[in-house]
A and B are shown apart, each in its own frame.
Chain A
């Protein structure tokens, strides 16, 4: 009995010791340094140092934040309809969401990447992929609007996308799911050897940024998970992680996790480019949408492209090699020098680093370890530069600070680990709250990262914020990485699921941001640039209202002669030429969103009145001291009535 009491006592003492220790640690390790608030505080009226473009995941959009404050400035609609901005609702932008499957109002946006010149961010465009119905979008940073979307044929689960080469020669889009190419009706269990993985190289016009599919490399039926371009010495190559080299078509969590090693596919795109420039490749029938928005007509057009150039790796010997990489690698990241290619085996406890120099050497000396469908497999030990041993559990993504350090996220152990390139030693680790996916250092995917902050994007938040029912916000966390140790400075909530982000010094972007659209450049076919031209026209049962808006009235604001059964088009031009004076408009019962029209812009919506009456419309954006007076009436007469078409202002 005494013995038991002693044991209890001992246990109690031990427990209190642990407790005390725990408390003591919390003081020092609570991660927050005392002046964290000061370091993320951007005083009223002052600007953040960086823009962060954070993907919305299942929201389909791209949000714009400031760093270090974590303030949200704008959600740019990309792949999903947005009633606030009439994106995909008004007549002008509906074509932007057209695909070979018809109008698709949603997608899953994952990986933004900023255009580059000579390996450095130039701040002209952000590219981002739509994962579900494969598409690549381009956002023009002079207007912060999506101005081009191209659908990717022969692709499914467009995930190893949208990463740019160092002069923005190409935006690359790799398929995650392999599919029959071309698509056809066939048994699913005949996957092996029949399904293919398309890696798509989209050229970007250096002048106007126009996108075009240059070629598709038709690879074996693996899952192409993520990718990054070579840079510096490795410029001209592109690297893709693969999993499911087992080519399983069911219960992949087990069946695609059998091989000890999958691959990083190294693609010499310069070689393939040369091949296709000399007439190589096969033109294959296809059907995919190419949607372009024009800032002068303020309209989008959608064109269905009917052909795509495909290249079989076997046709271009020496263009593709496979680098064995342990355990279903996820992240595929290339350091600023272009020498190290990092494959994070998500089921491994290690991070594998390949050397570009060693890879070239192995290729030259033909140190092959078999092949997969004719593609040479290099031997693991010949290409491996090193391994970061046991840094954490579930490594995913790596970014770089330009000072010789790499930062890798660990999903399972929920942390960011800082380690040294070359020595592979772990320098520091900081917890994430919780289950971090991607991380982002502004300029991290370039030759010149701005190594001041890292943003970790978490999949789970649980108790980190005030609860909002079963669905709670996802979150980003900002760490200062300017010192030897990382310091957690700030949590901030995100829109949708933040898969990845791209950051850039604000100075590169902000001077180019436009304030208004010049009215004199407005080439919209239904634009009215002077009050004298405001009018209403009838064409059969279509009524076209050519309307203007300026503080604080519509012209015309009294319209009569519309009948039940008519299709009424409001074509509204904002005549303002002053910064930050948008106007909005909507009318009772419109089966669509409002319009939110920027100065100098024209937008249109359709209204199909169903009952006779006099129906008001009004300005939906508080524009001026007389915003409440900015209203009008439209009279709707029965279908058979003879009410004359007329319109007026101020009579």
Chain B
């Protein structure tokens, strides 16, 4: 089998590791939490970094009127199907299609992932801004507007007494690696074709 084809198979299969490894992690540090609170975001679930972390994040957040982190969101159904379909498409392309399709698959994956990230940002924004009007503590920004508690999309941010970190995890790297390999597969296959 040709190298390009093998790489294309790898590219298509690598994102399947999202079903094993977490996509993202949000960590909250505060002096009272020598072991920080943390939440893993999987493609189909929220999970505690340490036992009961989500419950304890909810308990902290209820003071400022934030909603409880839901047990399930619609994305947990849509994303796994999405990843399964794109992998299937990738495999079909790998078996039957000409190498130029590798590039189309790559572009599709970039678009799909971008949509996913935008959706993640939108969810974070909602979570941080849709506050209970009866919140126990209300904070305002210097300009008088209601302070939001949106965790950072990527990076580190100070929110009141917490330092929040938000970074991609192994699952996200697998997805990114898969997408990148799609491009590599196209480039390798093209060279193979030209040299043939």
Interface, chain A (partner B; CB < 8 A): 516, 550-551, 576-579, 625-626
CB <8 Å contact, A551 and B136: no
Which residues of chain B come closer than 8 Å to A626, judged between CB atoms?
Answer: 63, 136
Interface-centre pick from B35, B59, B136 (highest chain A CB count, 10 A): B59
CB <8 Å contact, A625 and B52: no
Residues facing A in B49-96 (CB within 8 A) are 51-52, 55-56, 59, 63
Q: In the complex the two chains form, what is the Cα distance from A551 to B55 in whole Å?
A: 12
Q: Which residue of the partner chain A has the closest CB to B62?
A: A551
Residues facing A in B128-153 (CB within 8 A) are 136-137
Which residues of chain B come closer than 8 Å to A550, judged between CB atoms?
Answer: 59
CB <8 Å contact, A577 and B136: no
6 A/B residue pairs, CB under 8 Å, sorted by A: A577-B51, A577-B52, A577-B56, A579-B35, A625-B137, A626-B136
Which residues of chain A come closer than 8 Å to B56, judged between CB atoms?
Answer: 577-578
Q: In the complex the two chains form, what is the Cα distance from A579 to B52 in whole Å?
A: 10
State which of B35, B55, B63 has its C-beta within 8 Å of the C-beta of A625. Answer: B63
Q: Which residue of the partner chain B has the closest CB to A575?
A: B55
Q: Per DSSP, are chain A's interface residues mostly helix, strand or loop, or mixed?
A: loop
Which residues of chain A come closer than 8 Å to B52, judged between CB atoms?
Answer: 516, 577-578
Q: In the complex the two chains form, what is the Cα distance from A578 to B56 in whole Å?
A: 7
With A516-B52, A576-B59 known, 8 other A-B pairs at CB within 8 A are: A577-B51, A577-B52, A577-B56, A578-B52, A578-B59, A579-B35, A625-B137, A626-B63
CB <8 Å contact, B63 and A577: no
Minimum CB–CB distance for A626 against chain B, Å: 7
Which residues of chain A come closer than 8 Å to B137, judged between CB atoms?
Answer: 625
Which residues of chain B come closer than 8 Å to A516, judged between CB atoms?
Answer: 52
Top 5 closest pairs, chain A to chain B, by CB: A577-B52, A578-B56, A577-B55, A551-B59, A626-B136
Q: Which residue of the partner chain B has the closest CB to A45?
A: B34
Chain A proximity mask over B16-60: 1 for CB below 8 Å, otherwise 0: 000000000000000000010000000000000001100110010
Which residues of chain A come closer than 8 Å to B59, judged between CB atoms?
Answer: 550-551, 576, 578
Which residues of chain A come closer than 8 Å to B136, judged between CB atoms?
Answer: 626
Which residues of chain B come closer than 8 Å to A576, judged between CB atoms?
Answer: 59
Minimum CB–CB distance for B41 against chain A, Å: 21
Q: In the complex the two chains form, what is the Cα distance from A626 to B56 in whole Å?
A: 16
Q: Which residue of the partner chain B has the closest CB to A579?
A: B35
Minimum CB–CB distance for A494 against chain B, Å: 29
Q: In the complex the two chains form, what is the Cα distance from A550 to B56 in whole Å?
A: 11
Q: In the complex the two chains form, what is the Cα distance from A550 to B52 in whole Å?
A: 14
Q: In the complex the two chains form, what is the Cα distance from A551 to B137 in whole Å?
A: 14
Which residues of chain A come closer than 8 Å to B55, judged between CB atoms?
Answer: 577-578
Q: In the complex the two chains form, what is the Cα distance from A288 to B8 in whole Å?
A: 77
Interface-centre pick from B51, B52, B55, B63 (highest chain A CB count, 10 A): B52
Which residues of chain A come closer than 8 Å to B63, judged between CB atoms?
Answer: 625-626
Q: Which residue of the partner chain B has the closest CB to A519?
A: B52
Q: In the complex the two chains form, what is the Cα distance from A579 to B32 in whole Å?
A: 10
Which residues of chain B come closer than 8 Å to A625, judged between CB atoms?
Answer: 63, 137
Q: Which residue of the partner chain B has the closest CB to A580?
A: B32
Q: In the complex the two chains form, what is the Cα distance from A516 to B55 in whole Å?
A: 14
Residues facing A in B96-145 (CB within 8 A) are 136-137
Minimum CB–CB distance for B49 against chain A, Å: 13
Q: Which residue of the partner chain B has the closest CB to A576?
A: B59
Q: In the complex the two chains form, what is the Cα distance from A576 to B60 in whole Å?
A: 12
Minimum CB–CB distance for B114 against chain A, Å: 37
Q: Which residue of the partner chain B has the closest CB to A599?
A: B52
Q: In the complex the two chains form, what is the Cα distance from A286 to B11 in whole Å?
A: 77
Q: In the complex the two chains form, what is the Cα distance from A626 to B63 in whole Å?
A: 9
Which residues of chain A come closer than 8 Å to B35, judged between CB atoms?
Answer: 579
Minimum CB–CB distance for A136 against chain B, Å: 35
Q: Which residue of the partner chain A has the closest CB to B56?
A: A578
Q: Which residue of the partner chain A has the closest CB to B55?
A: A577
Q: In the complex the two chains form, what is the Cα distance from A626 to B137 in whole Å?
A: 10
Minimum CB–CB distance for A45 against chain B, Å: 9
Minimum CB–CB distance for A522 against chain B, Å: 14
Minimum CB–CB distance for A375 against chain B, Å: 57
Q: In the complex the two chains form, what is the Cα distance from A577 to B136 in whole Å?
A: 21
Interface-centre pick from A550, A579, A626 (highest chain B CB count, 10 A): A579
Which residues of chain B come closer than 8 Å to A579, judged between CB atoms?
Answer: 35
Which residues of chain B come closer than 8 Å to A551, judged between CB atoms?
Answer: 59
